[in-house]
Amino acid sequence: MALPYASEHVQFRESVRRFVDKEIAPHHARWEEEGVISREAWRRAGEAGLLLTNIPAEYGGGGADFLTSVIMIEEMMCHVFSGPGFRLHSDIVAPYILHLGTGEQKKRLLPAMARGEIITAIAMTEPGAGSDLQSIRTRARRDGDEFVISGQKTFITNGQLADVVIVACKTDPAAGAKGTSLILVEASRPGFSRGRNLEKIGMKAQDTSELFFDEVRVPVANLLGREGGGFGHLMSELPQERLLVGITAVTVMEAALRWTLDYTRDRKAFGRTIADFQNTRFKLAEVKTEVTVARTFLDDCILKHMRRELDVATAAMCKWWLSELECRVVDTCLQLFGGYGYMREYPIARAYEDARVHRIYAGSNEVMKEIVARSL
């Protein structure tokens, strides 16, 4: 079944396209060199109504449905503009605050997030614990009406720019997963510091950082959700995060197919176009088939998600299968560009670099297969 796009979605897509042309495209190569995008771009995205699009209007969001998030990913990622961490801010962090936050937290944070004035991050991973989140060591100790947080996080998207971070901490280290809580930490708090902006093999314009917490004091009112409920909260929000990876993967595969068709029809060797060789036609036929199957599965997942029926195992299938297919498809397409495919001025080269992490983050593909296997 096709996604239920209405005229307001078509208009929204037009406005995202205008924004991308004016505010992202002219700057992205420079942001890749600098390893981070500008705060100004966040504010412009806020002014254009492109942040928190499916958060209710009473909290400053766009009050629209999940299709606006799909459109945002499609319009940015079809150009491989992976620098702006808007998706993490709007579609990962904001839902935690909307679903778990107190009235005060929602009013304080969501409108400013929608305006792009507050940039957010979520910090689960630590140097010693990624997949195995139960063994995180960042500790939040209760002291009167404050939590005192000590520990270290790594690989945190938006880490250099974030003003507020959702931090997964142990409030009761003896209680295992049941001792994990989520706590909002403002970057202005004494004891909070950022490490270096990590150098990555792809997504070069996106800032990814270590974060340090040295006896950071926050009021207990900064607890997000239930004390000890952090692990459960993470598990309930992760399916949407995994679906976002699937949407990105299919968007990139569809774009890669378009670029490769254009390129191979134009480029000549041995007196014919590259597209005339049977090998090229068969490769492109395979890619077209795979992308068509992928899109059908993805759209079904999106529809299920919009009906609140996307279960954890299906979201895991969506994440691992589409991200692995993406790497394979992008590699096949890159090969058809010859040496030009290895040059970063061609989007296929940047798509190749960026795709690799899709198999690692949002839960590694091995962990996704564990989740699927457990559901059998």
Give, in order, the Cα–Cα distances in Å from 230 to each of 225, 254, 334.
Answer: 7, 37, 42
Distance from C-alpha of 72 to C-alpha of 62, rounded to nearest angstrom = 13
The structure tokens 């296997």 sit at: 373
Question: On the CB side of 270, how many CA atoms lie within 13 Å of its CA?
Answer: 4
Among 71, 156, 238, 256, binds ligand FAD (CB under 6 A): 156
Backbone angles phi, psi at 141, to 5 degrees: -100, 135
- Please give the radius of gyration of the chain, using alpha carbons only, rounded to the nearest integer: 21
Q: How far is the CB of 230 from ligand FAD (least distance, A)?
A: 12
Q: Should residue 186 be labelled a site residue for ligand FAD when binding is judged by CB under 6 A?
A: no
Binding span for ligand FAD by CB under 6 A among 149-157, 174-182, 258-266, 280-288: 149-157
If the CB atoms of residues 75 and 210 are measured against ligand FAD, the closer one turns out to be 210
Q: Should residue 200 be labelled a site residue for ligand FAD when binding is judged by CB under 6 A?
A: yes
If the CB atoms of residues 332 and 364 are measured against ligand FAD, the closer one turns out to be 364
Distance from C-alpha of 35 to C-alpha of 52, rounded to nearest angstrom = 24
Q: How far is the CB of 80 from ligand FAD (least distance, A)?
A: 15
Q: How far is the CB of 340 from ligand FAD (least distance, A)?
A: 26
Three-state DSSP at 171 gives coil
Backbone angles phi, psi at 363, to 5 degrees: 95, 120
32 assigned to active site: no
Q: How far is the CB of 156 from ligand FAD (least distance, A)?
A: 5
> Which residue among 23, 241, 254, 326 is the active-site one?
241
User: Segment 95-134, which members bind ligand FAD (CB under 6 A)?
Assistant: 121-125, 130-132
DSSP E strand boundaries for the chain: 120-123, 139-143, 146-157, 164-170, 180-186, 192-197, 208-219, 223-224, 268-269, 272-273
Q: Should residue 155 be labelled a site residue for ligand FAD when binding is judged by CB under 6 A?
A: yes
Residue at shortest CB range from ligand FAD: 130
- The binding track of 251-290 with respect to ligand FAD, each residue x by CB under 6 A or -, is ----------------------------------------
If the CB atoms of residues 186 and 353 are measured against ligand FAD, the closer one turns out to be 353
If the CB atoms of residues 283 and 319 are measured against ligand FAD, the closer one turns out to be 319
Q: What count of residues does the chain have?
A: 376
Other residues' Cβ atoms within 10 Å of the Cβ of residue 139: 17
Could you tell me the two tokens for 99? 């679903």
Could you tell me the two tokens for 186? 């403002």
Distance from C-alpha of 181 to C-alpha of 140, rounded to nearest angstrom = 9
User: Segment 345-374, which members bind ligand FAD (CB under 6 A)?
Assistant: 357, 360-361, 363-364, 366-367, 370
Q: With CB under 6 A, what is the number of residues at the site for ligand FAD?
A: 22
If the CB atoms of residues 121 and 298 are measured against ligand FAD, the closer one turns out to be 121
Amino acid (one-letter) located at 225: G
Backbone angles phi, psi at 54, to 5 degrees: -110, 25
If the CB atoms of residues 340 and 361 are measured against ligand FAD, the closer one turns out to be 361
Q: How far is the CB of 236 from ligand FAD (least distance, A)?
A: 16
Q: How far is the CB of 205 from ligand FAD (least distance, A)?
A: 12
If the CB atoms of residues 156 and 216 are measured against ligand FAD, the closer one turns out to be 156
Q: How far is the CB of 77 from ligand FAD (least distance, A)?
A: 15
- Nearest C-alpha neighbor of 307 from the set 67, 110, 93, 53: 67
Contact 65, 54 (CB under 8 A): yes
Distance from C-alpha of 198 to C-alpha of 208, rounded to nearest angstrom = 6
Interface residues with ligand FAD (CB under 6 A)?
121-125, 130-132, 155-157, 200, 203, 208, 357, 360-361, 363-364, 366-367, 370
Which residues have a catalytic role annotated? 241
